[in-house]
Structure 1
Amino acid sequence: MNIFKGLYLILIEPDILITDYIGVGGIGATFLNSGILMILSIFMLYKCKININGVSIACLFLIAGFSMFGKNIFNVWFIIIGVYLYAKVQKDKFSKYIYIALFGTCLSPMVTQIMFGIGKPLMIRIPVGILVGLSIGFILPPLSAYLIRVHQGFNLYNIGFVAGIIGTIFVSIFKSYGFLPESRLIWTTENNMILGVYLFTIFILMIFIGFYLNDKSFKNLKNIFSYPGRAVTDFVMLEGFAPTLINMGINGLIGVIYILMVNGDLNGPIIGGIFTLVGFGAFGKHWKNMLPIFLGVYLGSLTKIWSINDPAILLAALFGTTLAPIAGEFGWKYGVLAGFIHSSVVLNVGVLHGGLNLYNNGFAGGIVAATLVPVIEAFRKEEV
């Protein structure tokens, strides 16, 4: 398929979970879309005079990853502009909300769905889609600041939790008018060799470059492994860029090896999940607090009705590490419990927002953390 034709198909296709852009427009168009969006995001951070740190890296890798399945060079801008308008109304600098704007593009599929996925005249679809995107962006900043209190930073994907609530409200309104988003599954297979080589190469390079920049040593890496990871834990600011880069590479290798071990498929959504592990390797995640979550999801596959390599469960294992701070703060056993519970919750919350919140695991993770953490803390007080 021609790369530009593939990119055009990516722009006009509904992006409801799970829509693998590799299956829509091909590998070349998918990586082109991801690369352009990542470059534009870096440019936005530069124009806002943001110093690159852990949250910046996490944000950029999320943009790159989710540009493989849901975010594209057309549908993200309306939400970003909505956040910009909020900053103007509040008479604040846009730079104060730039991360919320970029993370908040997880609801971009809602814009695409309205513009291209409903059977209404174009003159209705386009303005309504724009209005919905602007509205979402406008309400994201106040809600994200408020709702982080619900899970106390134990859910690293706070915007995913916020977006799940916003998405639930909007989809409920849509359903009241007869608009029912249809579920879909576009999931490519048979690309494990080419994508595996690509991923192993970049993650091994990360480790080597980090090692070289770290005076050819692994100093401070142990320090990273000692942090619980609860938001806000910025490894770049705490321990430096070089050991953080090593940690990011290790996280990426863990993600790829896990997928291959359970006979999963490497494709757009899976790369999105792996890139999220890598990005948050600068902002809270490391092998010690992630592996209990993986184990919890795996144990769930042994006792529950689904298979460990079902698409939704593969994604639950990767993205479920949003709950890594629970393992880091309270111990690996509670991390396993969190992963076990999360693997069930994440399969049942998508219907609330109609698959239009790309950070579905962040939504589920917020619910799990908000429920589990108070119970854990109550029992720990009794033990003391």
Structure 2
Amino acid sequence: MVLVAWGLTLLGFGLVMDTPQNIISGLYRIIVEPDFLITDYISIGGLGAAFVNSGLLMLLSTGMLRLLDIKITGAAVSSMWLMSGFGLFGKNILNVWFIIIGVWMFARFQKEKFSKYVYIALFGTSLAPTVTQIMFGLSLSKTLSIPFGILTGIAVGFILPPLSSHMMRIHQGFNLYNIGFTAGIIGTILVSIFKSYGLYMDTRIIWSTEYQGPLTILLMTLFLSMLVIGYIYNGMSFRGLQKLYKYSGRAVTDFLVLESFPVTLINMGINGIFSTLYILFVGGVLNGPIIGGIFTVVGFSAFGKHLSNIFPIFLGVSLGGLTKMWNVNEPGMLLAALFGTTLAPIAGQFGWRYGIIAGFLHSLVVQNVGYLHAGLNLYNNGFSGGIVAATMIPIIEAFKKEE
């Protein structure tokens, strides 16, 4: 029920922020506008339509889990918040379904239940912009581009399960956004194919700045309510939080399974407040992509992230911003800080020093890998995180053996 309540909150916020007519027209623009990185749906469709899209994605995804009779765990919570977060910049109520259908077809092909692969399906919608780009963004007749986009989405979904299980071995679970790493590889191959046939995509940044006030109120209200409700249901205490902080966060670390829902909810609230305050402190703006990043931190606060292992990553990315050509409050660096917490398990497993190094390296790599997939992989930081983790872990372990 709590996932439904969160989805209804986002949906309700969207409905009160604009007129029905504007929301409907805004949703249409969100669906047909190419949405590769970075495309802020608040700029494309308006504040109301963006949050209606976000809320609907959370509710529809939650409904799918209920239909499959799947128990709500940390994986479920993290996937729902990713669906809603990226529902503000890249995923919409049309483009996600073809990838999900592709994963369903793979399950059928393997003669296995779809429930085994449902999280791969949900996380795999990171490549949803590929569907939109082919359907509406290429200079092809719609009679060709729409079926081509649908088939491409299904094909992507079909190959995701076997690839993602293999990619996990490369970074050994130290990159929480494993599907982002996998999707980065697939996206790079797709873009290479497109370019080989003369189909190019222009890079862009669509970035809204005009709703700082209402978005700050929404986020702080949402995260404070998590903290307070968790505190109340935890017997008016923070008991168990220190124990949660001792987990490294390495995949798979499911706090709802290992600990309790109230403690997990407290952790989610704390991380949401911290992430929001970080953005405000460095002079960043709250918009679709930034809130998507904050929601991702919050979602994975049920599945591996806590303040102890994400803080060094934030520090490392900030250090990168202070020593390089990018300022800490520029879009790329803000997103790197939030999504870079995919590397939180490195800090949790090996200590804060390695966490800072991981964050610093991530701030370098993530700025330079997006062109490989031309923004078609929404989890670009997961792609970068996989590269950083796969490079750092063998080196760290080699030095550890020498100690």
TM-score range, shorter-chain basis? over 0.9
Name the structure 2 match of 1:142: 162
Matched, 1:224 2:244: yes
CA apart distance, 1:194: 0.8
Name the structure 2 match of 1:347: 367
Q: How many Å separate the matches in 2 of 1:224 and 1:55? A: 16
Name the structure 2 match of 1:257: 277
Residue deviations 1:223-270 (CA, integer Å, cap 9, x gap): 111111000000111111010000000000011000000000000000
Matched, 1:361 2:381: yes
CA apart distance, 1:324: 0.3
**In the alignment, which of 208, 212, 234 is matched to residue 188 of structure 1?**
208
Query: What is the letter of the counterpart of residue 104 of structure 1?
Result: G
Q: How many Å separate the matches in 1 of 2:371 and 2:54? A: 27
Query: What is the letter of the counterpart of residue 250 of structure 1?
Result: I
Name the structure 1 match of 2:62: 42
Matched, 1:126 2:146: yes
Name the structure 2 match of 1:311: 331
Matched, 1:9 2:29: yes
CA apart distance, 1:184: 1.1
Q: How many Å separate the matches in 1 of 2:275 and 2:212? A: 13
Query: What is the letter of the counterpart of residue 312 of structure 1?
Result: G
Matched length: 383
CA apart distance, 1:182: 1.1
Name the structure 1 match of 2:9: none
Name the structure 2 match of 1:18: 38
2:117 counterpart SS class: helix
Name the structure 2 match of 1:76: 96
Structure 1 residue runs without a partner (length 5+): none
Residue deviations 1:322-344 (CA, integer Å, cap 9, x gap): 00000000010000000000001
Q: How does 1:166-177 map to 2 (within 5 A)?
A: 166-177=186-197
Query: What is the letter of the counterpart of residue 269 of structure 1?
Result: P
Q: How many Å separate the matches in 2 of 1:175 and 1:259? A: 36
Query: What is the letter of the counterpart of residue 233 of structure 1?
Result: T
Would you identify which runs of 4 or more consecutive aligned residues in structure 1 move more than 2 Å? none
**In the alignment, which of 393, 396, 402 is matched to residue 373 of structure 1?**
393
Q: How many Å separate the matches in 2 of 1:185 and 1:146? A: 32
Q: How does 1:147-162 map to 2 (within 5 A)?
A: 147-162=167-182
Q: How does 1:205-354 map to 2 (within 5 A)?
A: 205-354=225-374
TM-score, length basis structure 2: 0.94
Query: What is the letter of the counterpart of residue 239 of structure 2?
Result: K
Q: How many Å separate the matches in 2 of 1:303 and 1:263? A: 17
Matched, 1:113 2:144: no
Q: How many Å separate the matches in 2 of 1:303 and 1:147? A: 32
Name the structure 2 match of 1:51: 71
Residue deviations 1:83-103 (CA, integer Å, cap 9, x gap): 010011100001000000000
Query: What is the letter of the counterpart of residue 191 of structure 1?
Result: Y
Query: What is the letter of the counterpart of residue 95 of structure 1?
Result: S
Residue deviations 1:298-318 (CA, integer Å, cap 9, x gap): 111111111111101100000
CA apart distance, 1:190: 2.7
Query: What is the letter of the counterpart of residue 281 of structure 2?
Result: M
1:71 counterpart SS class: coil
Name the structure 2 match of 1:29: 49
Query: What is the letter of the counterpart of residue 199 of structure 1?
Result: L
1:185 counterpart SS class: coil
Query: What is the letter of the counterpart of residue 181 of structure 1?
Result: M
1:153 counterpart SS class: coil
CA apart distance, 1:216: 1.4
The range that moved more, 361-370 or 180-189, is 180-189
Q: How many Å separate the matches in 2 of 1:314 and 1:191? A: 17
Q: How many Å separate the matches in 2 of 1:147 and 1:106? A: 16
Structure 2 residue runs without a partner (length 5+): 1-17
